[in-house]
Amino acid sequence: MYLLAPTVLRIAPEALPAQVRARFGSELRRSGAFAHLCMLGAQACLDAAGEDGPLAVLWSSRLGALHASRAALDESLQRGEPAMPFTFIGMQPHLAGALLAQRAHPVTRSAHLHLADEDWPLLLFMAQGWLAECKRVLVGRVEESASGGVAHRSDWCLLRKKPLAGAIRLEPAPDQEGGTTATAEDWIARVAAWAAGSKAPLLLRGGKDAWRFALGK
Amino acid sequence: MTEAFVRATALASALGPDLDTAVERLSGSPLAPARNTTAGGAWPYFEIPVAGDDWMKRAEAVARAVAGSLRREAALAPDEWAALPCIIGSSSHSVGAWDRGGWAALVPPLEFSRMLAQSFGARGPAMLVNTACTSGLSAFDIAVSLVASGRFRDVLVLGVELSNRLTVAGFAGLELLSATAARPCDRARDGLVLGEAFAALIVSAAPGPWRIAALASGMDAASLTGPAPGGEVIAGTMRSALAMARWTGAAVDLIKLQAGGGRLGDLAEARAIRELFAPPPKTVSLKGALGHTLGASGPAELALTLASLARGRVPATWGFAAPDDELGLKPSGGDAKGVSRVLFNLSGFGGNVMSLALEKSG
């Protein structure tokens, strides 16, 4: 399995609306901050990867669409107003797949997961399974800022089955010792930093799993 | 890639606390749903017959009962059971706890998934999948990918949808609910009826009664709250499932429909089926008996379908009486003799469309 375009976005909450307008104009109607973050990161990653074809999208977060969930309960139910479309049955975290498809990306599979910090390596096993049926899997981690002064996070990378010039090869390393413990929040950023500098392979751990990243075929 | 099988199934639903009761009920006369007044109306609503004022304690009680049934059927060694990872599909998580308990009662999604996994005694990684109405089948899809990658031999999948005001208010606000009954594929269908379900499955690399021949997925982004009227993506997804399974249309013995009684949704699926199958094979819808159990509907309808077939019956389609010529489908129950290949359709808000091909093994 090969990894392309590790992309790390940190966006100040107050800067998000302007960035969304600049990148997508008014296309992202009826979606909230979480979906906007997903789209900014996913689109930046796809732009950097620069290739096309059927796409699966697998992204995780710890809390999901925090603000949209609170708003749905607080503003709708508590005031006795009808719940509006897109604010219930977990639509906000799930919207990114459909929004990407609406922007002409051929999405064939998509899922958003709430995943614990240490379980990030499982996303790579899931993607490996999906790559049996799909050429590319876009993998992301998105977290809305829960408090002022903390940036929103939207980190993405593109996985593919076949090698490509400049792609990072990755494989499970169950028996390998050493390495660095990473979390769901920082593993893509670690891969991006490593890819920008070092030539030696990178071993990242999470839970009971380890994955090895190396440059070249 | 490793092959995957459905090893065991369990379900608590309006039809009863377990699958034996549900299959037996389904062979009798239709159950009248309760009325849900939580969102200011009096909508028909299929409730799990378990009492309890405390939402979270009730959820745990239902979970423990389903876990007991599943554990007996799965027959895993204690250490294998304890190591199970748990992938949960739900569209509403623990939002029902908020109805009476307010913010203090609401737990974050990950905490809720850990609580449910704990009720099952599963101590592997726990995670919660969120793809609206297909959440449970997406959880199943992820379980299949984890088995296929060789990372786990067995994976626990839960589909959980329990009563809450927000969901009912949302569907009522969209005018998608029937005021009377769910009538899948029927000429007089006029909307969905929602329901609760708590379903559990074990996906395994070890051979089980049903082999997962394919699980195809598509994205219908024409509208975020319903399929394109022509059913093109549904047809494309079924076509992919057939190709991945290396089946012809004629090889399919039964299609479990997504159909829930909505005018446009049922029509789109029927058009897709008529495009691929001439004539359509036997079809069945379970939403007249379970209600639309949203994020739980994949595992819940899968558990009920497989349990019925194991007991020699194609489940009945409650709510269907008068065919709609525009649909051209006549879902019906009956003898399951000769049913060994099943196509299982599911789709939902946000555009996910899925088609699962299952083949009787052995």
- What is the pLDDT at residue A83? 67
**Average model confidence (pLDDT) across chain A:** 90
Which residues of chain A lie closer than 8 angstroms to B1, CB-CB? 129, 132
What is the tally of structural domains in chain B?
2
> Going from the N-terminus, what domains does chain A have, and what CATH number goes with each?
4-159 (3.40.47.10)
Domain end call among B204, B232, B267: B204
Place A84 in a pLDDT band, splitting at 50, 70 and 90. Answer: low
Is the model's pLDDT at A217 over the cut of 70?
no
Domain end residue (candidates: B163, B186, B204): B204
Whole-angstrom distance, CA of residue B178 vs CA of residue B337: 34
A116-122 average pLDDT score? 97
Residues B190 and B331 in one domain: no
The reply to whether ipTM tops 0.90 is yes
Q: What is the mean pLDDT of residues A19-43?
A: 89
The length of chain B is 362
Contact B109 A64 (CB under 8 A): yes
Both tokens assigned to B171: 């569907």
Least confident of A50-64, A182-196, B31-45: B31-45
Whether A88 has a pLDDT exceeding 80, the answer reads no
B237-242: long-range contacts at Cβ-Cβ below 8 A with a sequence spacing of 24 or more? B237/B353, B237/B354, B237/B355, B238/B272, B238/B273, B238/B276, B238/B343, B238/B345, B238/B355, B239/B276, B240/B214, B240/B216, B240/B355, B241/B214, B241/B215, B241/B216, B241/B343, B241/B355, B241/B356, B241/B357, B242/B214, B242/B276, B242/B343, B242/B357
Separation CA A110–CA A97 (nearest Å): 6
Q: Is A91 on the interface with B (CB under 8 A)?
A: yes
Give the contacts of A45 (CB within 8 A, at least 6 positions apart): A5, A6, A7, A138, A140, A156, A157, A158
pLDDT at A75 over 70: no
Residue matched to tokens 């017959």: B49
Full domain range(s) for residue B332: 211-360
Cβ contact, residue pair A91, B131, below 8 Å: no
Q: What does DSSP assign to residue B322?
A: S
CATH number assigned to the domain comprising residue B217: 3.40.47.10
Could you say which of B163, B181, B204 is where a domain stops?
B204
pLDDT in tens, A127-176: 999 999 899 999 999 999 877 789 999 999 999 999 998 899 999 999 88
Give the pLDDT of residue B40.
72
Chain B hits for A85, CB-CB cut-off 8 Å, are 170, 173-174, 224-225
Spatial separation of the C-alpha atoms in residues A126 and A111, rounded to whole Å: 11
Give the DSSP letter string of B149-180: TTS-SEEEEEEEE---HHHHHHHHHTT-B-SS
- Give the mean model confidence (pLDDT) for residues A2-7: 97
DSSP B186-246: BTT---B-EE-EEEEEEEESS--SEEEEEEEEEE--SBTTB--TT-HHHHHHHHHHHHHHT
Low-confidence ranges of chain B (pLDDT < 50): none
Could you tell me if B159 and B80 lie in one domain? yes
Residue B188 corresponds to which amino acid? Answer: A
Can you give the pLDDT at residue A82? 65
Average of per-residue pLDDT across A77-94? 71
Model confidence at A52: pLDDT above 90: no
pLDDT at A76: 63
Average pLDDT over residues A89-117: 88
Q: Do residues B158 and B223 share a domain? A: no
Name residue B353's beta-bridge partners. B218, B347
Minimal C-alpha gap between A97 and chain B (Å): 8
Here the tokens at position A28 are 């992202």
How close A109 comes to chain B (CA, Å)?
5
Maximal C-alpha separation, chain A? 59
